[in-house]
Amino acid sequence: MQKIQPFHLAIPVDNLEKARKFYRDTLGLEEGRSSDHWVDFNFFGHQLVIHYKAASETRNTGSNPVDGKEVPIPHFGVVLEWDSFQSFSKELKDKNINFVIAPYIRFEGQPGEQATMFFKDPCGNALEFKAFKNIDQLFEK
């Protein structure tokens, strides 16, 4: 199996300072380089860059049904270790995050059983965080 390499993801935000505060203070991400138009963060070992984009340049958004819930699309996020997911979701609840889908167990008792949660940043970007009790089931059918 190949060693997992960090990925790079760039997302649009229509309020750079509001988004910067959310990713830095609410999610607790370490801030890296920045300019007047972008900021990068250590997103759980990966590089996330928020780029200013005017609100008038709208994004297409929607949802798809998964396990009886409407999953926002597009979305991005990471797979955390089980215990990290539990503590991170508690921190977010304590910070009164407005969840699109509150933390719960998806596909319970089935292959690929996972903890998951969805919420949006202040600019409308949907994020998903998930964890598998058995990480070997990450791609289980």
- pLDDT tens sequence across 84-134: 999 999 999 999 999 999 999 999 988 889 999 999 999 999 999 999 988
Give the integer Cα–Cα distance in Å for 77 and 68. Answer: 20
CATH number listed for the domain at residues 63-141: 3.10.180.10
Instruction: Tell me the average pLDDT of the chain.
Output: 91
By the 8 A CB rule, do 107 and 91 touch? no
pLDDT at 10: 94
Provide the residue ranges of all domains of the chain, joining segments of one domain with +.
1-54, 63-141
- Residue 38: which pLDDT band, with cuts at 50, 70 and 90? very high
Topology match between the domains 1-54 and 63-141: yes
pLDDT at 127: 97
pLDDT at 140: 80
pLDDT at 61: 74
pLDDT at 3: 72
pTM: 0.90
CATH class of the 1-54 domain in this structure: alpha beta
pLDDT at 59: 65
